Chains A and B, each alone.
Chain A
Amino acid sequence: MIAFHLLFLGGTFCSAEACSVLSNPLLWETTLVSATPLVLAAMGGTISERSGVVNIAMEGMMLVAAFFSAYVTDKAASLAGLAPWEAALVGVVGGIVAGCLIAGLHAWASIRFHANQVVTGMAINLLALGLTSYLYYTLYGSQGTPGNLAGIPNWNVPVLSSIKFMSLGPILFQENPITYLAFLSVVLAHIFLFRTRIGLRLRSVGEHPRAADTAGINVQRLRYLAVTLSGGLSGLGGAYLALNGPHGLFSDNMTSGRGFIALAAMIVGKWTPFGAMGACLLFGFGQALAIALAGQLTVGSYQVSVYILNMLPYVITILAVGGLIGRSIPPAADGLPYDPAESA
């Protein structure tokens, strides 16, 4: 619905030249490329918050994972002598593990020590920024990650990738394997949260931990599981940023706020996997549009800056939280530490 409105607004304002970008398949490809890391991080955030642990640390988790996926890929190729694709695969696993570990830190502080989850999350983001810059500088000096670092190339799905109709083949079926995993993770997250027993328990822990505890559910353990899962998913998103394409790369602060956009998508998507995915696609579309329209978008005689388009996710989030585009209400116990020893 939101996407429709945006297109409609775009239709009224843009010049004929600007509107022609909508029929360019590259715009839709770029949308998927931009949405992939957002979708993965937003799934992580959704699962974590559904269990009652506020997670604003996706940015940091992705950044740490991006660094370690590049680092592990580099070392797997240079020390273990693996072939490029094997090294990149090991690198992706390294990124996921790094994401899980840094998420474990968040879980440990907020579940074991009942820390304020927003403060811990912010601390993790800042820690990640400092840690990755420090390691990057120390390990790679001024030349940075090697120019021939391996990556995960795009994969043409047999048969489907050659569909000519509306360029569906090139847009949907010549993408990165991690992009497919991202959209698969949406379906899996939905099934996990809403169709399995453990998912039901996880949600009950996020809504009313006391009741769940009384029913014999281990609140703490489920929350550890959810936060670690969120780290793994964000980690895959970070690995995507570093390793998508035939060549990998790490650069200082390369996540560039994507964790926060994913956070916004989770809120706009009302803490549901498909809702968050929709918001991620919308925000990815915004990023793709900003690139395609750079310098072309005009309202009347005024040229609209790309910075305005980059603000879009946050404006939509404020509208969503304010109840202007359907009210977003978080899980009831989101952000509240639970102490089994305390009496109700």
Chain B
Amino acid sequence: MAGVSFVASSRGTFNAVGKSVTLALPALVTRGDVLVALLAHNAADAPGATPVGWTRADGLGEGADVLDIYVRMVDDNEPGAVAFSFATITSECQGALVAFRGSSPGAIREASASTAFAATATPPTASVTTQQAINLVLSIWTCSGAPALALPAGFTALDGFTTAIVAPRSMLIGIRIAGVTGPAVFPPAVAGTATTGRSFSIAVRARPPVLPAALVDIVPGNIGLIAKDTRRAR
């Protein structure tokens, strides 16, 4: 398998009193898988300390729509859940944990991008630049309210939900094979009612493109390719 593959995902549990989002380890995850934690929150709610063993890979968006991305590799003693804390809670926080196989925490995030949208029933999908067609594109839409959200064609749904512990907010997560190289442009999502928020796209990869081994010989004259005819004798 040349590329990275999706394994499983789980939805976070927001605790406004405890000022944290807890992410349970999804089923089917095994040692060596890479966990990508997605934490959506308001910029006013500053994240607390990064949990031990996790690395903050990215911080996207602004204002009411910030997405923090943390990564970690599953080990033998992986806890069943991890809690991401916040210094303050003024708005709804949401999260998800996505597990991938065939990559490493240092390589998995190739690029990311975000796009804001306002009062639209067709929230755009953030365009992200991807170097390899085998990369996966993980796209997230976060928005205010509780509109019914549907993924663009070509995406596979990982999760979609609304929580309203502080104030209603919705989150939609989908994934697809990039299938292209360079700036990847995808159709918009669909919202049941006009909504305001931001979409994020992350190019997820197994590794950077390989450097092929070379055929080196200072003296030319090697036996090269051989064509075999293995058809059955008549």
Q: Is chain B found bound to chain A in the same assembly?
A: no
